[in-house]
Amino acid sequence: MNLTGNTILITGGTSGIGLALAKQLNMLNNKVIICGRRAERLEEIRRVNAGIVTKVCDIADAQQRVDLTEWIFQNYPEINILINNAGVQLHTDFLRTGDLANIRKETEINFIAPIHFIQLFTSYLSRKESAAIINISSGLAFVPLAVAAVYSATKAAIHSLTLSLRYQLRNTTIKVFEIVPPSVDTELGYEHREDKTSTHGGMDVNEFASQVIDALQNDIYEAAIGTTANLRAKPQEMFDVLNRW
């Protein structure tokens, strides 16, 4: 896949994987558009990263997803790549009464929003000479982290969705990729840390983004980055390792 001269939307681009990808793709002479909820954060990113376009959008809201899509089609009609990256990871304790609002939030952001964006973009992208939809799943799609049961389930659903989408679009110009991250050093899951500003460790986010770009350039349609190859190959063994708590 050619990663120069494209116009790309990245959801959840204000931090972590989304921001690292935005910066590297921007340096490869692509027009990169990122969205997120934090207006101040988006403004700061736009100010220090010449060329990156920012737009406020809470992707948990269906109407805002529609509005964002229409705004892009009107202002950046050359759009040809969608990266479904935004995600939230919450903890679920089934021995306690669950917070249904949090379950809905996690499912909406991690699974329903990507499906909705795919529906909104696919017909438009299919008219492009070259296009791609890139879904960010997780190693937890293959080996769930029990404490993050809903998150893991949504990522398993993204994996399944991507397989079906790739098959449905096999006769179009749209390439369909799944990027499978390992634990990456980002803000994901910060709500559960005593220090809310800390990260959870894992792979350096810039190294991760570099490997993602290599995978896309080499048309690796299901790219298991870093340690996720072990999760994919040895699910039961790795489940026991991952859930020792």
CATH number of 7-242: 3.40.50.720
The DSSP secondary structure of 166-208, one letter per residue, reads: HHHTTTSSEEEEEEE--SBSSSTTGGGSSSTT-----B-HHHH
Task: Read off the pLDDT of each residue in 1-10 and give the average, rounded to a whole number.
Answer: 97
**Band of residue 196 on the pLDDT scale cut at 50, 70, 90:** very low
Residue 191 has pLDDT above 60, yes or no: no
- Give residue 202's pLDDT: 86
Catalytic residue among 124, 151, 167, 190: 151
Distance, CA of 17 to chain centre: 8
167 as an active site residue: the answer is no
Residue 187 has pLDDT above 80, yes or no: no
Nearest Cα residue to 150 out of 187, 188, 103, 190: 103
- Give residue 95's pLDDT: 87
- Give residue 194's pLDDT: 52
Q: What is the rounded average pLDDT for all residues in the chain?
A: 93
Say what the pTM is. 0.93
- Give residue 198's pLDDT: 46
**Band of residue 186 on the pLDDT scale cut at 50, 70, 90:** confident
Task: Read off the pLDDT of each residue in 87-115 and give the average, rounded to a whole number.
Answer: 92
